[in-house]
Homo-oligomer: A and B are copies of this chain.
Amino acid sequence: MEPVRGNLVVGQSGGPTAVINSSLSGVVLEALEHDAIEEIYGMVHGVEGLLGEELIDLGRQSAATIAGLRSTPSAALGSCRHKLRDADYEKLLRVLEAHGVRYFVYIGGNDSADTAWRLGRLAADLGYELRVMSVPKTIDNDLVETDHCPGYGSVARWLATAVRDAGLDTEAIGVVDTIKVIETMGRNTGWITAATALARDHADAAPHLIYLPERPFVRDRFLADVDRVHKKLGHAVITVCEGLKDERGEYLSASGKTVDVDRFGHKQLGGAAAVLCDIVAEGLGIKARWDKPGTIQRVSMLAASPVDLEEAYQVGRAAVRHAVEGQDGAMVTLVRESSEPYRWATGLAPLERVANAERKVPDEFIAPEGNDVTDAFLAYARPLIGPPLPPYARLDMTRVARRTGG
């Protein structure tokens, strides 16, 4: 198909990540290489900004700024979680038409894919030539049709590092604070929590127990798990997804005050870890403490995975390249060609298959006991975080012979 001449608009949507600006950088630099693309606009705060005709000119930013996006976390254009009404799509099309936009690139998760898909359908219905492409982005790693999602490798590396360090903390101070619960993001899927298993660098290393929302939380089984680890090691580090639910399907965090609902009807979670600490205190009589790194985990540049940064950049480039070549209504995917050595390529999937679908952690990645991940998961996730975590020193703890009566 012939490239259509016109302008491109790109937007960022959903929760920010360490690498969503890498995708933006890829989109802009690829767009600059194609004669068919004239102006390159950025939506300020995604489709919400586009509705209000809030656009900036990305083609006129300095080269240093566009390059610098690759090491800048969060969403430089501003993000949004705007749920569009039917009338909004018509308004969006009017804005796009007024600005001569023929390429619509939206970087985001499944909500964003849905938005892009609906916009593309309306454009087709009205006979307005618009090439709509979606660039995957979500730390949740819950998009279907792609091996994994840009943003995931970096949150995985951050959490692996943080849980390893926090695990050493509990091991050191263990005679006092012997149980620690670390709450990760992840809403309805356990991909992020599962990645904490990458923290382990020796047999008894943290995390000792991992609870994903793919399995219902069972209080007694949990207490038995904690008790067993605690009796063996004298301490226990537990990682848990914010979206953990009990056997009735209720969020554990629902007993706290911090549950709220965003505009998509997603519950804003927080508090599962505190609830687990209360359960440990009640059930085992042991004081537990909890960490909830919250949004810090998803945008931290400190442990951004170089693999993730590069993939995010390349999916941005691929979206534009494919659109110029004639693709429409598709999301760029990541295709794993090999895990060892890790090799990947980009692919394409129809937006309608991605929109609003959610990929949970599959059974083969979850330990039968529901309190850990499997080696198959580790083999899947390990290449995504980049190089191995730097090694730490461990002292030989062989005791000196006693010389007093004790």
User: 1/0 per residue A60-97: CB within 8 Å of B?
Assistant: 11001111110111111111111000000000001100
Q: Give which listed residue, B45, B53, B77, contacts A404 with CB less than 8 A.
A: B53
For A268, the chain B residues whose CB sits under 8 A away are 177, 287, 289
| Protomer copies | 2
Of A78, A298, A299, A398, most B-chain CB atoms within 10 Å = A299
| Interface range on chain A (Cβ under 8 Å from partner) | 35 or more
Is the CB–CB distance between A55 and B169 below 8 Å?
A: no
Residues B95 and A392 in contact, CB atoms below 8 Å apart: no
Chain B neighbourhood of A241, CB < 8 A:
none
Interface residues in A5-56 by Cβ distance below 8 A to B read 12, 15-16, 21, 41-42, 44-45, 48, 52-56
Flag the segment in A208-216, A257-265, A332-340 that touches B: A257-265
Kindly state the separation between the CA atoms of A303 and B158 in the bound complex, as whole angstroms: 12
Q: Are B168 and A74 in contact (CB under 8 A)?
A: yes
* Shortest Cβ distance from A301 into B: residue: B165
Q: By the criterion CB–CB under 8 Å, are B404 and A169 in contact? A: no
**Cα distance A382–B295 when bound, in Å?**
25
Closest CB in chain B relative to A230 CB, distance in Å: 16
A248 at the interface (CB under 8 A from B): no
Contact A406 B300 (CB under 8 A): no
Task: Give Cα distance in the complex from A287 to B256, angstroms.
Answer: 15
Structural contact, A99 and B403, CB atoms closer than 8 A: yes
The residue on B at minimum CB distance from A396 is B61
30 contacts between A and B (CB under 8 A): A15-B169, A44-B397, A44-B399, A48-B175, A52-B406, A53-B402, A53-B403, A56-B396, A56-B398, A56-B399, A60-B396, A65-B394, A72-B168, A74-B172, A76-B172, A76-B395, A82-B175, A95-B403, A162-B296, A162-B300, A162-B302, A165-B296, A165-B301, A180-B295, A182-B294, A257-B278, A258-B277, A268-B287, A290-B294, A292-B294
